[in-house]
Amino acid sequence: MINIPISQYNRNQITPPASTSSHAGIKKLIIMDVDGVLFKGQFILHLARSLGILVYIRTAILCLLFNMNKISIHELITRVYASFEGVTLEHARMVYKNIPLIKHARETIETLRNHGYLVILMSSGVPDLFVKDLATRLSANNGYGVEINTENEQLTGDVSGQLSRSTGKRDLIEEILRETRLAWQNTVVLVDDRNNLDIMYKAGINIGVNAHYTVRQQARYLIDSRDLSEMLDIMDIEDADTYKTLFAGMRKQFTHSWYQEIRRKCLHILIAFVPLFSIFVHNTTLIVLFSLLIVYMISECLRVNGYSLPLLGSITRSSIRKPEERGFAFGPVTLVLGAILSLLLFPAIIANTVIWIVAFADTAATVVGRGIGNHRIPYNMKKSIEGSLAAWLVAFFCGCIYLPLFPAVLAASFSSIIESLPLRSLDNLLMPIGTGIFLLCLGYS
């Protein structure tokens, strides 16, 4: 057994990893945050919600102030737990037990331990006794949380302990590192919020799980799949046993960007319905597009802070590319904005033509470019000549629906040139608007 003689925690013992019996056998120390990482949401918010709407709103505001860097973790925890005075320990335990956990938490931790990793749970918001219980439930080596005082099995509202302080996690990890003779370089941290920024910078590997914006920007890896086993891919653990079957399907899903592109483009093509609806209900179509735009932007703001809007959040998560995970994905915004502006600025014939061009030609460029695109465009190495030719052909067919042959050729050429430029998601906006203005200048309406 490895004894961790840590200030207030020296009564606790840490079970060594299953395949090791001494410090020398430990490959790495893995520190997992509890709130937001293993728990869906935060314990204090779950408990506050069970105590009524006013306590919940107050707690939510304090959490928001903490996330905005207006109050420290110590102030947050002290003020929140003060409002929990009189709550029975049994009630708090019931709330703790009912918090949903991230998928495959136990399986992942067991696998990590079998591969010689020391897994420690650490929380600055969850009571120590619950974190220890969670560590047992999930097969972690140990867990540490904040110390809560109780009297007659009721919370007194006082909270204390190393982890209630701003530098608590860093100090505690350093004590564990000293004991296990490991270094920060051998440490992996899984975190979600800004309370963990200092340990993120020091750790050899940091992983943002459902990460808030500041963590999302800094983290080396991100896990947004609500499935902890994605970590095994990051740590490059290929388990030949039972877990291989369990994780095989999922790994395929993580890496198969081709299917992801198809999914993206299926959503992209939905914009082609706009001209069909606008013929019959023009104003309603505009209102629906505006509403979708606002809902999507709210959903994205939540996603980049580790939260998820039901349905739309999971659709976005499964459709965005890796580089888009760290920030706001603007593709759908520019696509919908392009359709709205086309309906507002152009006569129906031009609006319909350019919306269909952006819906189908852009999709054709991606599908053909990814499938058989071997010749790069000199001014944009990310796109291929084959993709651009496909975009031209499809744009030409879209143009032929409303326009005579020659203007259809011009519209197809102009829009496929815009599509080929390195504009990122701006092409969704510039393709319809640019082509529409071009056709207006040619005198077609």
- Rule CB under 5 A: say whether 33 interacts with Mg ion: yes
Question: By C-alpha distance, which of 330, 109, 66, 325 is closest to 220?
Answer: 325
Using the minimum distance from each CB to Mg ion, give the nearer residue, 36 or 369.
36
Task: Name the segment binding Mg ion (CB under 5 A); options: 36-44, 60-68, 207-215, 436-444.
Answer: 36-44
Minimum CB separation of residue 182 from Mg ion in Å reads 23
> Rounded to an integer, what distance in angstroms lies between the CA atom of residue 225 and that of residue 220?
16
Q: How far is CA 310 from CA 41, 46, 64, 209, 302, in A?
A: 14, 18, 21, 18, 11
Q: Which is nearer to Mg ion, 191 or 339 (CB)?
A: 191
In 3D space, the residue among 132, 35, 125, 47 whose CA is nearest the CA of residue 86 turns out to be: 47
From CA 101, how far away is CA 4, in angstroms rounded?
27
Name which of 32 and 271 has its Cβ closer to Mg ion.
32
**In the 8-state DSSP scheme, what is residue 39?**
B
Neighbouring-strand partners of residue 88 = 154
The residue among 95 and 408 lying less far from Mg ion, judged by its C-beta, is 95
Interaction between residue 73 and Mg ion (CB under 5 A):
no
Residue 427 in contact with Mg ion, rule: CB under 5 A: no
Give the footprint of Mg ion on residues 407-426 (CB under 5 A): none
Q: Give phi and psi for 247, each to the nearest 5.
A: -95, -10
Identity at 327, one-letter amino acid code: G
Residue 383 tokens read as 């796109």
Q: Least distance (Å) from Mg ion to the CB of residue 396?
A: 53
Q: Can residue 76 be called a binding residue for Mg ion (CB under 5 A)?
A: no
To the nearest whole angstrom, how small is the minimum distance from the Cβ of residue 170 to Mg ion?
15
Burial 55-81 (b: 16+ CB within 10 A, else e): bbeebeebbeebbeeebebeebbbbbb
Q: Which is nearer to Mg ion, 200 or 312 (CB)?
A: 200
Site for Mg ion in 177-206 (CB under 5 A): 192-193
Q: Are 57 and 216 within 8 A, CB to CB?
A: no
- Closest contact distance (angstroms) between CB of 33 and Mg ion is 4
- Across 267-302, b (16+ Cβ under 10 Å) vs e yields ebeebbebbeebeeeeeebbeebeebbeebeebbee
Q: How far is the CB of 268 from Mg ion (least distance, A)?
A: 35
Instruction: Among 16, 36, 332, 434, indicate the residue that binds Mg ion (CB under 5 A).
Output: 36
Does the footprint of Mg ion cover residue 35 (CB under 5 A)? yes
Per CB under 5 A, which region of 33-41, 66-74, 181-189, 398-406 contacts Mg ion?
Answer: 33-41
Tell me how far, at minimum, the Cβ of 196 lies from Mg ion, in Å: 7
Residue 283, classed as helix, strand or coil, is: helix
Query: Is the Cβ of residue 33 or residue 107 nearer to Mg ion in the bound state?
Result: 33
Q: How far is the CB of 84 from Mg ion (least distance, A)?
A: 18
Binding-residue total with Mg ion (CB under 5 A): 5
12 SS3 class: coil
Q: State in angstroms the smallest separation of the CB of 61 from Mg ion.
A: 18
Q: Is 63 one of the binding residues for Mg ion (CB under 5 A)?
A: no
Binding site for Mg ion (CB under 5 A): 33, 35-36, 192-193
